[in-house]
A and B are shown apart, each in its own frame.
Chain A
Amino acid sequence: MKIRESIISRRKFLFGLILGGVGVLVSYGLIPVIKYLFFMTEAPLPKAVSMKKKALNGFPNNSARYFYYGWLPSIIIRTPQGEFRAFSAVCTHLDCIVSYRPQKRDIFCNCHDGIFDLNGKNIKGPPPKPLEPFDIVYNGEKVIIKKHEAPEKKKDNKKG
């Protein structure tokens, strides 16, 4: 029954109240469940990792080794010229682990034949982006590997 002056009937009003109450209850239940299920279990990556300089002893030219940057599988390559370069070892296509090919002097992904050059740039195949590079800094007896800072950012930091 609807009183002439009212916008809606009592039945609709009560139904709306109940529906609203149930909606609030469900959303109160959903919020913790969603946060629980979508929790990122990996800790954030560190700003840098370090290793002893002697870990790089006996590292031949034109070869590579794997290491962990935090939880991220990574690769350190010694180029044919003897320079050290480090990248994330996770292919930017579909997350396979890449490998270094000494005979071709490139970084190769077995899964879908993606190829990266010695700067980590994607040069052939499906990978859409370059490998994430790391900077290598020598500090006495330690070698510090840290997230790469773009040159512009470095300039801004210097200004600041």
Chain B
Amino acid sequence: MALNVDIKKFRMGLEERFDLGKWIEFSRKKMVPVHRFSVFYYTGGVVLFLLILQILTGFFLLFYYKAAPETAHDSIAYMMTEVPFGWLIRSIHHWSSNLMIFFLLVHFFSVLLLKAYRKPRELTWLTGIVLLFGSLTMGYSGYILPWDDRAFFAVKVGTQMPESLPLIGEQLKVFLRGGRFVTGATLNRFFALHVGLIPWLLAGTLGLHLLLVQIQGMSIPLSIEKEALRLNKKIKGEPFFPHYFLHDISFWLLLLGVVVSLAVLEPAGIGPMANPLEPAPPGVKPDWFFLSIYQTLKIIPSKILFFSGETFGIVCIFLFVVSLVFIPFIDRASSRREASLFFTLLGAVTTLYFILMTIIGYFT
């Protein structure tokens, strides 16, 4: 009885100060469609949860990480071996980043294939593209910070690639490296990107992305809409609060268990300290989320038409990334709620290509 009275008083206090009533009413009235593809609605929330986990563990890592080539590697080794639960904090950061990118890609491909980018959600798609590439950049800049042999060659190769781009290539390389060669200045830049610039960019963009989702609601796939129209049935929905919200929280808790289990069973490792005078370690490869690009560049012939194979490949990849931005504006059929076979096939081929090249890159 005492507990009930206290909660009521607490709620009344919040209501008087923050007018919570209208927010609670909004979340109770907000409906989330339920259909055979609605499981994909959870992927966005899962990415958000993993991002929060990353930010928290990332803050804690800042207490012991020293961003200079002489100290970066040792500070991480110290954190992993001497600091109580340092191995756990770092391993949670490592696994939550990998799982976040995994679910982010699932979210991206599901939006692409289900055409959730169509009108009126073009801006949500654009902010999503920024978030996707911002997160991939976070993943890349993050695995450079330990400054081990793998990180060193990852940054060498990754910052060399933009040089192939016409006009801006050389300047982009100098900007990323802090010079023409990979040095301590490069580590400083990637640390600044990873801890400063990109998190703020992501936070702002994420805020806009979430606001748009709240304003416009969840997109319903065209096939579901057509089916409902054909059968003259209303699409089922469940209240966001408490139904969808509780499902979301359950997934998050489950995922927390998965992340911690992975952190305990497979703690994050670190290779030997980077040595600029040593050759690349045998079998060195990028992290899994870049394997499709790595494999693509491997299979391109050394010369295509007048261009070097590498230049051709990098330019094509760059153009593909840029073209993603324009998809909602080119796929007019989807905006008119009509079938758009070309974009469905394009989406399917892109998804399969990514999965296939990642698998091939991993096993070869």
Complex contact A33–B60 (CB within 8 A): yes
A32 engages B3 (CB within 8 Å): no
* Shortest Cβ distance from residue A63 to the other chain B in the assembled complex, whole angstroms: 36
Chain A residues whose C-beta falls within 8 Å of the C-beta of B84 in the assembled complex: 32, 35-36, 39
**Closest-CB distance, A130 to chain B (whole angstroms):** 33
Chain A contacts for B83, CB-based, 8 A:
36, 39, 41
Question: Does A154 have its Cβ within 8 Å of any Cβ on chain B?
Answer: no
Q: Is residue B85 within 8 Å, beta carbon to beta carbon, of the partner chain?
A: yes
Q: How many residues of B contact A (CB 8 A)?
A: 10
Q: Does B58 contact A (CB under 8 A)?
A: no
Q: What distance in Å separates the Cβ of B61 from its nearest Cβ neighbour in chain A?
A: 10
If over half of B's interface residues share one DSSP class (helix, strand or loop), that class is named, otherwise mixed; here it is helix
Does any Cβ of A come within 8 Å of B63's Cβ?
yes
Task: Fill in one digit per residue for B250-267: 1 if any A CB lies within 8 Å of its CB, else 0.
Answer: 000100000000000000
| Residues 327-345 of B contacting A (Cβ, < 8 Å) | none
Q: Is the CB of B60 within 8 A of A37?
A: yes
Q: Which of B1-17 contact A (CB under 8 A)?
A: 3
Q: Report the Cα distance A12→B3, complex, angstroms.
A: 9
Task: Give the residues in chain A near B309, CB-CB below 8 Å.
Answer: none
Residues of B within 8 A of A36 (CB): 60, 63, 83-86, 88-89
Do B63 and A32 touch (CB < 8 A)?
no
How far apart are A60's CB and chain B's nearest CB, in angstroms? 38
Chain A residue at smallest Cβ distance from B63:
A37
Nearest chain B CB to A160 CB, angstrom units = 34
List B contacts of A33 (CB < 8 A): 60, 85, 89
Interface residues of A in 1-36 (CB under 8 A from B): 12, 25, 32-33, 35-36
Report chain B residues within 8 Å CB of A25.
Answer: 253
Q: Which of A12, A35, A41 meets B85, CB within 8 Å?
A: A35
Least Cβ–Cβ distance between B357 and chain A, in angstroms:
38
Q: Which residues of A line the B interface, CB within 8 A?
A: 12, 25, 32-33, 35-37, 39, 41
Other A-B pairs, 14, CB within 8 Å; known A12-B3, A33-B60: A25-B253, A32-B84, A33-B89, A35-B85, A36-B60, A36-B83, A36-B84, A36-B85, A36-B86, A37-B60, A37-B63, A39-B83, A39-B84, A41-B83
Sorted from nearest, which 4 A-B pairs have the closest CB atoms?
A: A32-B85, A35-B84, A36-B85, A39-B83
